Amino acid sequence: MQKKKRHSFRTDLRPPLIVASLIGVALLGVFTLLSLIVTPEELPLYGASLCGIYVLSVGCILFPYLLRYRRITRANDAADLMTTEISDMFRYVVDIPYAIIGGDGMVKIVSGALQDILQFRSPVCNVPLSTFCSVPMDDVIAYAHNGAQVRDITITEDGVPLDNTKPMITEIDGKKYGMQCYVMRSRGKDYFFVIFEDITEDLAMRKKMYEEDPVVAYVVIDSLQELAQYIRVSYRTAVNEIENKLKEWAAGFGGILREYEREKYLLVFTRAALDKCIKNKFRILDTVRSIELGDNSFPVTISIGVGAINGSFEDKERAARDALDIALQKGGDQAAVNDGKSVTPYGGRVNTMYGSTTITSRVNSSHLTKLMKDAGNILIMGHRSPDYDSIGSCVGLARLAICARGDASKIRIVVNRDHVNFRVCYDLLAHLPEYRAMFISGDTALDAVRSDTLLIMSDVNNVFNTETPRLLKCVKNVVIIDHHRRQDQLYEFKPLMTYIRPAVAAASELVSEMLEFSPYRDRLLKEEANLMLAGMMLDTKNFTQGAGMQTFSAVQYLYGRGAHANSVRTFFSESMSNLFTACDIDSRTRTYREKIALTWLSVDHPATEEDNIAVAKAADKLMTISGIEASFALLRADDTVTISARSHDKINVQIIMQRLGGGGHYDMAGTRMTHTTLEAACVQLKTVIDEYMDNEYESEKGMKR
């Protein structure tokens, strides 16, 4: 359309020029012919006549074209004048701030509205865009050519997408302007038409809506009833004191706190208040922890679950409940914020008493038994590289399932049958008919999945650490039984039952309690009891670490079913090569920041289970050194570094390992770092230790004083 309009304002002079040329050629031929016929005296007269004829004929031909050309020229001049007037009117009358910018980033023309904003003397200028706009010219060009802002998405090492796109927003004279960019072409050059839209009020409204968006949270007091059993304090007085602190905290940012159940509260507040809480890392956790009850030998703590998602109040309440479950299953004494994509923890500085009573074990045992009876078939799975606790707890759950269903035909344990620990355990069970076909591989388990399959995860709650993670995508009915602190992950599935007690020493202890308080307490076999005892001995370092009153109660039950430490002593025997490896690791021990012991082992072959066990034992052994509060043992194999961490009650190694991509317990944790060297892993580890010691550890000491 645009080209047709241009052609209508043009005059084509080629036809008359061609005709004039042909006439000239014809008259020249006539003149040449006359020169051969007429006398030389007559030739000038004929030549003058022919020239007159040429001028007259050409004039008659060109005259209409010249008139048309003049008329079109006047029309074009009038159009140019009108375009200039319209452009001036658009620039000054239409209240749209815009600028025309060259490809070199120089501003050529600005509208009257933008001229007033920038206080320029003339609309025609030649200044760089950067003098008043913070958006780079490259982004303007990219926006104009693509018709929209080009998004910059990067993927982290953990596979999490990060949006690094910079908004097309600039600030001019205290106001925010959004930019829209278009390409203009004139005389073979690209120019960029940029419109500046005042979005100050829109951003202010969005900010207000964000800050006033309601947030739902659950707050619970961690195990105050259990705590009251050990200290002389009035239970009601303690609850009132904690509740007053919580009310003062909620009133400080305009929140509403209501008790909906004993020691449990519902909190409604705003996003702005949540941002303040996040900024001060939920200082209320320290405030409650500083409350002195009795002799203050045990700190009183709270757990908070926050649902900070977009959606209805029902959605927010569900997100808050999920966050609270994670906070409690990670040991309590922390706040977990669920934004719908991930759960971010704050706190978790002390090894709390969060746990449960025998009533809880009985209730969970009854619930699990019912699920086992209703299932079409049962798969029981521990963590990869299974240890005695993982295998022992799975065997205990298998016994519970056998008793509940009456036979073992549709019960299977998913395990790595080639692992050295499994071979040791299987030798103890091989003569029992129930276990001859009980243990299967992950691939075989995938073929056994049905719509009514029940999958029980034991001694693990991290999906990626299970023996066969793919099973979790195939089975919809899942039960989790574990004693590790829960990782900061939202499950893609909704577990039918979650029984996680970080205060318990071993998963075998949990399963022993469930068996003891079930109708089948007398059905546990001696071989099964010995395996579970071995698991408890492993995780408690022969009952010297993490063992409590309930631990020994579970041991008493296992002893009553025929278990004995002498029967599993061979499980913990060491070979001569392992002894030499341990001596090699001991010789490399170094201290860091006076309270921390570091050691390492470097091998030139893929890490074996013996190597992992040797490093874990080294970390345990370092904790026997006087003055050492935490130990870290590193194993380098190929480009992978595995770290085993241990501590007493002062340093939370779970937080340190979590920041390196791992997890575990307050006093026992670990991580695996891939594509790195031993030196680089040591640097990262020391950096995280420094961050923890300079912040959380120091603030804990101040709180205790």
Question: Taking Cα atoms as reference points, which of 191, 181, 171, 197 lies closest to residue 108?
Answer: 191
pLDDT surpassing 50 at residue 311: yes
Q: How confident is the model at residue 687 (pLDDT cuts 50, 70, 90)?
A: very high
Structure confidence at residue 266 (pLDDT): 94
Q: Is the dihedral of CA 415, 417, 419, 421 positive or negative?
A: positive
Question: Taking Cα atoms as reference points, which of 313, 447, 460 lies closest to residue 380?
Answer: 460
- State how far the Cα of 99 lies from the Cα of 194, in Å rounded to an integer: 5
pLDDT surpassing 90 at residue 517: no
Average pLDDT, the chain: 82
Fold match between domain 98-206 and domain 212-347: no
Architecture of domain 358-572 in this structure: Alpha-Beta Complex (3.90)
Greater pLDDT, 529 or 188: 529
Greater pLDDT, 170 or 503: 170
| Average pLDDT estimate for 186-209 | 87
Q: How confident is the model at residue 91 (pLDDT cuts 50, 70, 90)?
A: low
**Residue 334, Cβ density class (10 Å: 0-12 exposed, 13-18 middle, ≥19 buried):** buried
Query: In a 3-state reduction of DSSP, which class is residue 668?
Result: strand
| Average pLDDT estimate for 472-486 | 87
pLDDT surpassing 70 at residue 280: yes
Structure confidence at residue 234 (pLDDT): 63
| Average pLDDT estimate for 97-123 | 85
Structure confidence at residue 177 (pLDDT): 92
pLDDT surpassing 50 at residue 664: yes
Structure confidence at residue 293 (pLDDT): 65
For residue 695, the 8-state DSSP code is I
Structure confidence at residue 512 (pLDDT): 93
Structure confidence at residue 396 (pLDDT): 95
pLDDT surpassing 90 at residue 325: no
37-46 burial: b if 16+ Cβ within 10 Å, else e? eeeeeeeeee
Contact 192, 199 (CB under 8 A): no
Query: In a 3-state reduction of DSSP, which class is residue 662?
Result: coil
pLDDT surpassing 70 at residue 96: yes
Lowest mean pLDDT among 176-185, 305-314, 492-501: 492-501
Contact 135, 170 (CB under 8 A): yes
| Average pLDDT estimate for 359-366 | 75
| Both tokens assigned to 343 | 């759960």
Domain 98-206: which topology?
A: Beta-Lactamase (3.30.450)
pLDDT surpassing 90 at residue 414: yes
Identity of the highest mean pLDDT range in 29-38, 230-239, 259-268, 643-652: 259-268
Architecture of domain 212-347 in this structure: 2-Layer Sandwich (3.30)
Q: How confident is the model at residue 580 (pLDDT cuts 50, 70, 90)?
A: low
Question: Taking Cα atoms as reference points, which of 337, 363, 369, 326 lies closest to residue 462?
Answer: 326
Lowest mean pLDDT among 72-86, 241-255, 331-345: 72-86
Lowest mean pLDDT among 387-391, 576-580, 602-606: 576-580
Q: How confident is the model at residue 445 (pLDDT cuts 50, 70, 90)?
A: very high
| Tens-place pLDDT, residues 146-177 | 877 766 666 555 444 556 667 889 998 889 99
pLDDT surpassing 60 at residue 576: no
| Both tokens assigned to 193 | 């038409």
| Average pLDDT estimate for 238-243 | 82
| Average pLDDT estimate for 99-126 | 85
Q: How confident is the model at residue 353 (pLDDT cuts 50, 70, 90)?
A: very low
| Tens-place pLDDT, residues 589-622 | 899 988 999 998 888 878 777 778 778 888 888 8
| Average pLDDT estimate for 463-474 | 89
Q: Taking the CA of residue 175 as centre, how many other CA atoms within 13 Å lie in the half-sphere pointing to its CB?
A: 15
| Average pLDDT estimate for 569-584 | 66
pLDDT surpassing 80 at residue 332: no
pLDDT surpassing 70 at residue 294: no
Query: In a 3-state reduction of DSSP, which class is residue 546?
Result: coil
Q: How confident is the model at residue 5 (pLDDT cuts 50, 70, 90)?
A: very low
Percent of the chain with pLDDT over 70: 84
The domain spans of the chain are: 2-92, 98-206, 212-347, 358-572, 581-704
Domain 581-704: which topology?
A: Diaminopimelate Epimerase; Chain A, domain 1 (3.10.310)
Structure confidence at residue 7 (pLDDT): 42
